[in-house]
Amino acid sequence: MILDVGDGTYELMFTAVTAGIHSLTVHVFDRVVGSSCPLSFSVDRYHWPVSTYSALNQPVAVAVDGDALYVLDTGNSRVAVYDTSLTTSAARYIVNESLTQRSATGLTLRRSLMYVINWRTCRVSWFRAADGLDLHSFDCDEFIEPTSLTVANDSTIFVADNGVHRMFVFAPCGKLLRKIELTVTGGSKSDLVTCIYATSAHDEILVCDHRVRALSYDGEFLYELTAGDSHGHGQYGGVVVDGSGRYLASRSERGRAMIQVFGCDRQWCFSIECEGVARLRRPSGLAVDDRGRVFVADLASNCVRQFRYT
């Protein structure tokens, strides 16, 4: 992007997608502006977070609504709410029955309602994001270890259960509509499902285990994201699709963790990695806003980190 500041100067903003030495030359009507030598600069392979939200205990999922950041603070049995435009300290906390026993592990925000799944109580609940008031909850006799959930645009609720390797589909009233078997090639049981995500543009559910697969609402396999820059066996912790159709997925491997960014064509573009004290250790749930920011819950570091990716 080129911004005319209005005083004879311009600001240029762009995303470098490869590390190394880069050069920049500016031309106006085929004439070089400034020095005849291009401006050289170095791009490091590692990223640095824009902000870090700490004082959390086992954060596993995040959601964003404008400047409001909601963090499922599982170890503290609450949802921490931050105003990202003001500070990195929590503005308030939501505490209610659906978040008890340090076992709420799945979170989705839809139309100012927050849906959670609690694997100990085996209950799906939703409450108002504004004040945390519980509105409704239900359980299912077939639940064994329900750990993640997502909600489609029509309020259909999907719950992944690692105890039975199935995804349960519920009507908004809590009525069980159908069950989807989660299997791998050859019909064997799937790996540990860490996250499911309903895309808003298509009737698809993204399922994370050691890869990211897309299923139809009826459970039909549609496609799988490419491995990107994965170097070996690992685990995906979260996935999200932004308003431009780009996919972002958090992944942990042996000695390495990153956020992979894929284009709307589902091809890998680049990865966000950190080093030193900002290094991602076990990235889990992701959320994005319309300003090119991604928020990732780092379960092992007990914090949420914010990055720019556009």
Reply yes or no on whether the pLDDT at 213 is more than 80.
Answer: yes
Query: What total of structural domains would you count in the chain?
Result: 2
Work out the burial of residue 247: count CB atoms within 10 Å of its CB; fewer than 13 is exposed, 13-18 middle, 19 or more buried: buried
SS3 (DSSP) at 89? coil
**Cα dihedral: 32, 38, 39, 45 (round 10):** 130
> For residues 68 and 91, what is the distance between their CA atoms, to the nearest angstrom?
9
What share of the chain has pLDDT > 70, as a percent?
97
Do 144 and 259 reside in the same domain of the chain? yes
Confidence (pLDDT) at 35: 66
Place of tokens 């949802």: 79
Do 69 and 129 reside in the same domain of the chain? yes
Do 91 and 172 reside in the same domain of the chain? yes
Distances (CA, A) of 251 to 200, 234, 259, 305: 22, 7, 6, 15
96-154 pLDDT per residue, tens: 999 999 999 999 999 999 999 999 999 999 999 999 999 999 999 999 999 999 999 99
Do 16 and 70 reside in the same domain of the chain? no
Do 242 and 111 reside in the same domain of the chain? yes
Confidence (pLDDT) at 287: 98
pTM of the model: 0.88
108-120 pLDDT per residue, tens: 999 999 999 999 9
Which CATH number belongs to the domain containing residue 276 in this structure?
2.120.10.30
Do 57 and 180 reside in the same domain of the chain? yes
Domain range for 26:
2-43
The 10 Å Cβ neighbour count of residue 30 is 5
Do 34 and 117 reside in the same domain of the chain? no
Structure tokens belonging to residue 238: 């979260």
Do 111 and 38 reside in the same domain of the chain? no
Structure tokens belonging to residue 292: 């090119």
